[in-house]
């Protein structure tokens, strides 16, 4: 299903990279020998766990907030999140002198909540999951006169696409890249970079089997909501697909893989054993998918996006005990 359409111009990409590199250097990408030894696959890991907020989302936040300032949109912002988007926006907002309010569901990661508050944002807890928090957030934006920052926006995609450009520039034309889907900006960013560079790399999207609205939607050819999104990989815990993201992903991915929480926990352990990096659930999901498909990928050069390392200490301890954390 590979598409050839480029989403952004070379000038837009260059400008986005300049904005991001004011705040952070490019993140590394390494082909780890122990991963190759275990999987039989030349595996390039894109380390988005090495950003100032520990996740790839900061790239989109930096670009979006700078664009807002350039348009004269200097009002306070509000957004809904399970954590990484909610660190990205206040990090970027504070650099541009804009106050931020972050809305999270009850039961959200304690450590992600603490990070959000440490960045100077006002934290509001409401709803039982991300999608309920998002609905409340939209109403709060109207009631409080704040600018709603969506979880999916083309300026966010432009920002996060820069990590894929870095990966391809360093690793060359990979046979495939595995990338997780939450709301979809990361996956769309990889598709965008692949198309812009004219590569034949296959983009393999990864979802949780307990939060698979994008897979169901692609199969149905229309947006399909689910009744729940119960997974400890909170960055993937989405019930309602974004229609714009769905259109890009449906047109641009070459496959989509479901992984279980047990498979994700196995991948977190492999990351720690082979690279001594900490991965959160969504960050380990691409490696989990590669592990599930390692036979078909033997001898190939493959990228996996370690999109974040913000896993709560208790969950990481559970994983290292050989268990799977509760959702």
Domain assignments of the chain as residue spans, ordered by start: 10-56+154-320, 57-148
- Of residues 69, 81, 98, 75, the one with CA closest to residue 144: 75
* pLDDT at res. 215: 97
Mean pLDDT of 298-321: 97
In this structure, the number of other CB atoms found within 10 A of the CB of residue 69 comes to 16
d(CA 236, CA 308) in angstroms, rounded, equals 12
CA–CA gap between residue 121 and residue 87 (Å, rounded)? 9
pLDDT band at 201 (very low <50, low <70, confident <90, very high): very high
Distance CA 52, CA 69 (A): 21
pLDDT at residue 292 greater than cutoff 70: yes
Question: For the domain bounded by 57-148, which CATH number is listed?
Answer: 3.40.50.1100
Q: Is the pLDDT of residue 5 over 70?
A: no
Domain 57-148 in the same topology as domain 10-56+154-320? yes
Sequence-ordered strand ranges (E) for the chain: 29-31, 42-47, 77-80, 100-104, 122-125, 147-148, 176-180, 202-208, 255-259, 301-306
6 φ, ψ to 5°? -85, 135
| Residues 245-282: tens digit of each pLDDT | 999 999 999 999 999 999 999 999 999 999 999 999 99
Give the pLDDT of residue 228.
Answer: 86
Q: What angle do CA 325, 236, 32 make, to 5 degrees?
A: 75
What's the rounded mean pLDDT across residues 167-181? 98
Task: State residue 310 phi and psi, 5-degree precision.
Answer: -90, 70
Q: Indicate whether 3 pLDDT > 60.
A: no
- Checking if the pLDDT of 2 tops 80, the result is no
Give the percent of the chain with pLDDT over 70: 98
Q: How far apart are CA 22 and CA 323, in angstroms?
A: 40
Q: Residue 147: its pLDDT value, please? A: 96
3-state secondary structure of 256: strand
d(CA 50, CA 31): 16
Report the share of the chain in percent with pLDDT over 90.
Answer: 94
pTM: 0.95
Query: CA-based angle 130:136:141, to the nearest 5?
Result: 120
Q: Residue 276's closest CA among 34, 9, 18? A: 34
Q: What is the pLDDT of residue 26?
A: 98
The CATH architecture assigned to 10-56+154-320 reads 3-Layer(aba) Sandwich (3.40)
Q: Which two tokens stand for residue 207?
A: 């979802």
105 has a pLDDT exceeding 80: yes
Q: Is 71 exposed, middle or buried (0-12, 13-18, 19+ CB in 10 A)?
A: exposed
């Amino acid at each position: 299903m590979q598409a050839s359409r480029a989403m952004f111009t070379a000038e837009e990409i260059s400008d986005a990279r300049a904005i991001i590199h004011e705040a952070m250097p490019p993140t590394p990408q390494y082909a780890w020998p122990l991963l190759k030894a275990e999987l039989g696959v030349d595996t390039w890991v894109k380390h988005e766990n090495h950003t100032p907020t520990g996740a790839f989302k900061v790239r989109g936040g930096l670009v979006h907030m700078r664009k807002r300032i350039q348009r004269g949109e200097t009002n306070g912002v509000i957004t809904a999140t399970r954590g990484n988007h909610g660190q990205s926006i206040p990090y970027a907002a504070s650099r541009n002198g804009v106050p931020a309010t972050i809305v999270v569901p009850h039961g959200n990661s304690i450590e992600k909540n603490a990070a959000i508050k440490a960045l100077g944002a006002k934290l509001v807890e409401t709803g039982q999951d991300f999608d309920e928090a998002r609905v409340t957030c939209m109403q709060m934006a109207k009631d409080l006169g704040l600018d709603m920052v969506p979880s999916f926006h083309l300026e966010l995609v432009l920002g996060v696409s820069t990590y894929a450009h870095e990966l391809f520039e360093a690793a060359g034309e990979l046979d495939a890249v595995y990338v997780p889907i939450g709301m979809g900006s990361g996956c769309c960013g990889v598709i965008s970079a692949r198309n812009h560079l004219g590569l034949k790399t296959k983009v393999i999207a990864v979802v949780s089997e307990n939060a698979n609205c994008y897979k169901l939607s692609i199969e149905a050819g229309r947006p399909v909501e689910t009744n729940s999104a119960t997974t400890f990989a909170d960055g993937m815990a989405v019930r309602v697909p974004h229609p714009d993201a769905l259109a890009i992903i449906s047109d641009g991915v070459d496959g989509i893989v479901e992984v279980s929480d047990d498979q994700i926990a196995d991948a977190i352990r492999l990351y720690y054993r082979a690279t001594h990096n900490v991965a959160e659930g969504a960050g380990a999901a691409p490696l989990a998918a590669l592990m599930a498909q390692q036979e078909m990928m033997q001898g190939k050069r493959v990228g996996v996006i370690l999109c974040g390392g913000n896993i709560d200490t208790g969950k990481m301890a559970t994983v290292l005990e050989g268990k799977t954390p509760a959702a």
